[in-house]
């Protein structure tokens, strides 16, 4: 499968997730039905940990509220193979980085969600989608 | 004392007997004269998401048994409520055959004269299909698994795989449709489009879960590029601590 084929495949996956009521991500190791895709949450905070691993990468982000109380959000991401095609490296984010992470939140209200994009300190933005190259600040 | 000696002799004889059954990688088995395989499915394959049905086995679904219907109804109810039903894969249970074949991960297949090894990129699930003419494992000895006990033979342009010996728990065909220890799957594997695609026609029976035969055909694309190779992927004990949706209170256990 060449790169363009992979992009078509990703678009098809996106269609499947939107079209499927049960939202079973066969590419994930679990169902993501617990994710509320009708909402988006912007997490402005600091990377606590970044896991570059199979089958999922993940990120923990410390997010302070207006009172300065910090909540750690758990963000689930796709596999490194997908992220590499979207321009990621294992070193793209590291603990201590200031980031803004856009997620679909959990339905149950716990501080966690499914990754959509990250905006780094230099203003560039990365998603999980191939064909969505890193935007310039 | 004589009884003990006789028992020991019998045990040694049994071990010796087993030793005569060659393993699939034994040179004497690999080089044994046998008909030439009509197809070779060695390669890396990726489920064809443009093929009808792609990564699910229904609908349509067969008529379910009352017990299976309870699961099916509960899964549909969870679905309408935006919840997930018995997400065992998310809790690191193996997907198992046939579901493992339709995960959106590459599958590498290595065909030798005596065996096909399938390794899914998804959790590195190993499936062994014996081609050396052996029957299914003795029912009194079989170790039930999620991928089952598979034996294959060539019929015309197809590799026909017969699989039994599945576990009877945490194993689903589709969400809400349980597989039982009575599951029996016959797969007819064919290469099409000059070997660029692989099709498998599934004929599945499981009298504990549905009536009659459930037939489905799936297709995979050959993927030769390095970035589609399988990699080491495990469901480690700490994985889900970082994946919040697997621990959602909304999940139906």
pLDDT of residue A7: 47
Which has more pLDDT, A51 or A133?
A51
pLDDT at A4 over 80: no
Which tokens hold the place of B173? Answer: 């065909």
**Does B250 contact A34 at a Cβ distance shorter than 8 Å?**
yes
Indicate whether A15 pLDDT > 70: no
Confidence category of residue B8, pLDDT binned at 50, 70, 90: low
Residues 6+ positions from B17 with CB-CB distance below 8 Å: none
Residue B78 to residue A107, Cβ atoms within 8 A: no
Domain boundaries, chain B: 1-33, 43-247
- Residue B25, classified by CB atoms within 10 Å of its CB into exposed (0-12), middle (13-18) or buried (19+), is exposed
Q: What is the ipTM of this complex?
A: 0.70
Average pLDDT, chain B: 90
pLDDT at position B83: 81
- The 10s digit of each residue's pLDDT in A76-95 is 999 898 899 899 999 999 99
* 3-state SS assignment for residue A8: helix
Q: What is the pLDDT of residue A2?
A: 42
d(CA B174, CA B59): 9
- Would you call A2 and B225 a contact, using CB atoms and an 8 Å cutoff? yes
- Least CA distance to A9: which residue of chain B? B49
B237 half-sphere exposure, CB direction, 13 A CA radius = 0
Q: CB under 8 Å to B247, separation ≥6 — which residues?
A: A110, B240
The tens digit of pLDDT for each residue in B169-221 reads 999 999 899 999 999 999 999 999 999 999 999 999 999 999 999 999 999 99
Q: Determine which of A15-29, A91-105, B71-85 has the lowest per-residue pLDDT on average.
A: A15-29
8 A C-beta contact, residue A132 and residue A86: yes
**pLDDT band, very low/low/confident/very high, at A46 (cuts 50, 70, 90):** very high
Closest CA to B85 of B70, B93, B75, B76: B75
Q: What pLDDT score does B196 carry?
A: 98
Can you tell me whether residue B155 is helix, strand or coil?
strand
Task: Please report the beta strands in chain B, taking only residues with DSSP state E, as ranges in sequence order.
Answer: 43-47, 107-111, 115-120, 126-130, 149-155, 158-164, 172-174, 177-178, 184-192, 197-205, 214-222
Q: Mutate which of B245, B247, B250, B253 to disrupt the A interface (most A C-beta within 10 Å)?
A: B245
* Cis status, amide bond into B203, omega within 30 of 0: no
Please name the residues in contact with A21: beta carbons below 8 A apart, sequence gap of 6 or more.
B79, B80
Distance of CA B163 to CAs A33, B126, B220, Å? 32, 14, 20
Distance from CA of B68 to the nearest CA of A (A): 19
Confidence of residue A8 (pLDDT cuts 50, 70, 90): very low
- What percent of chain B shows pLDDT beyond 90? 74
Picking from A67, A132, A75, the residue whose alpha carbon sits closest to that of residue A103 is A75
Cis status of the peptide bond prior to A55, with omega within 30 of 0: yes
> B43-247 belongs to which homologous superfamily?
Calycin beta-barrel core domain (2.40.128.20)
Residue B5 has pLDDT above 90, yes or no: no
Select from A69, A47, A68 the least CA-distant residue to A126: A47
The maximal CA–CA distance of chain A, rounded, in angstroms, is: 50
Q: How confident is the model at residue A3 (pLDDT cuts 50, 70, 90)?
A: very low
The SS3 of residue A78 is: coil
Question: In this model, does residue B233 exceed pLDDT 70?
Answer: yes
**Cis peptide preceding B123, ω within 30 of 0:** no
CA B216/CA B109 separation, integer angstroms: 21
d(CA B3, CA B20): 26
pLDDT at B240: 78
pLDDT in tens, B142-179: 999 999 999 999 999 999 999 999 999 999 999 899 99
| CA end-to-end span of chain A | 32
Confidence of residue B16 (pLDDT cuts 50, 70, 90): very low
CB of A56 within 8 Å of any CB in chain B?
yes
pLDDT at B25 over 80: yes
CA closest to A14 among chain B residues = B49
Confidence band of A129 (pLDDT split at 50, 70, 90): confident
pTM of this structure: 0.82
Residue A11: pLDDT over 90: no
Task: Average the pLDDT over B15-40 and give the result.
Answer: 86
* Partner residue facing A107 (CB), from B79, B233, B250: B250
Contact at 8 Å (CB) between B84 and A31? yes
Residue A106 has pLDDT above 50, yes or no: yes
Per-residue pLDDT averaged across A104-108, rounded?
91
Q: Give residue B183's pLDDT.
A: 98
What is the mean predicted confidence (pLDDT) over B108-127?
A: 96
Share of residues in chain B with pLDDT > 70 (%)? 90
Question: What is the pLDDT at residue B177?
Answer: 96
Is pLDDT at B30 greater than 90 in this prediction?
Answer: yes
Taken in order of first residue, the domains within chain A and their CATH numbers are: 33-127 (2.40.50.140)
Tens-place pLDDT, residues B37-53 = 999 999 999 999 999 88
Q: Which two tokens stand for residue B113?
A: 């004269």
């Amino acid at each position: 499968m060449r790169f363009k084929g992979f992009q078509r495949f990703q678009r098809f996956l996106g269609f499947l997730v939107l079209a499927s009521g049960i939202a079973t991500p066969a590419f994930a190791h679990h169902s993501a039905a617990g994710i509320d895709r009708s909402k988006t949450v912007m997490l402005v905070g600091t990377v606590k940990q970044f896991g570059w691993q199979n089958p999922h990468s993940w990120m923990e982000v410390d997010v302070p509220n207006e009172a300065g109380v910090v909540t750690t959000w758990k963000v689930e991401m796709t596999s490194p193979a997908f992220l590499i095609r979207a321009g990621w490296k294992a070193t793209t984010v590291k603990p201590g980085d200031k980031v803004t992470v856009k997620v679909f939140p959990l339905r149950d209200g716990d501080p966690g969600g499914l990754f959509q994009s990250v905006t780094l300190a230099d203003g560039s933005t990365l998603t999980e989608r191939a064909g969505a190259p890193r935007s310039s600040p | 004392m004589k009884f003990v000696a006789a028992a020991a002799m019998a045990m040694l004889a049994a071990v010796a007997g087993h030793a005569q059954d060659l393993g699939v990688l034994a040179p004497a088995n690999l080089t044994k004269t046998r008909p030439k395989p009509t197809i070779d499915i060695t390669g890396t394959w990726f489920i064809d998401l443009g093929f009808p049905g792609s990564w699910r086995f229904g609908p349509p679904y067969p008529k379910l048994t009352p017990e299976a219907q309870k699961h099916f109804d509960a899964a549909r109810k969870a679905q309408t409520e935006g919840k997930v039903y018995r997400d065992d894969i998310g809790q690191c249970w193996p997907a198992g055959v046939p579901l493992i074949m339709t995960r959106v991960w590459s599958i590498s297949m290595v065909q030798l004269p005596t065996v096909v090894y399938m390794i899914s990129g998804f959790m590195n699930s190993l499936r062994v299909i014996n081609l050396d003419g052996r029957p299914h494992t003795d029912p009194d000895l079989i170790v039930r698994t999620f991928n089952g006990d598979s034996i294959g033979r060539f019929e015309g342009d197809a590799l026909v795989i017969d699989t039994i010996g599945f576990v009877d728990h945490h194993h689903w065909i589709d969400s809400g449709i349980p597989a039982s220890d009575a599951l029996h799957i016959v797969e007819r594997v064919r290469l099409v489009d000059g070997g660029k695609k692989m099709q498998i026609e599934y004929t599945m029976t499981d009298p504990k879960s549905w009536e009659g035969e459930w037939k489905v055909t799936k297709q995979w694309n050959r993927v030769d590029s390095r970035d589609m190779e399988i990699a080491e992927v495990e469901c480690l004990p700490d994985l889900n601590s970082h994946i919040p949706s697997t621990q959602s209170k909304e999940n139906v256990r």
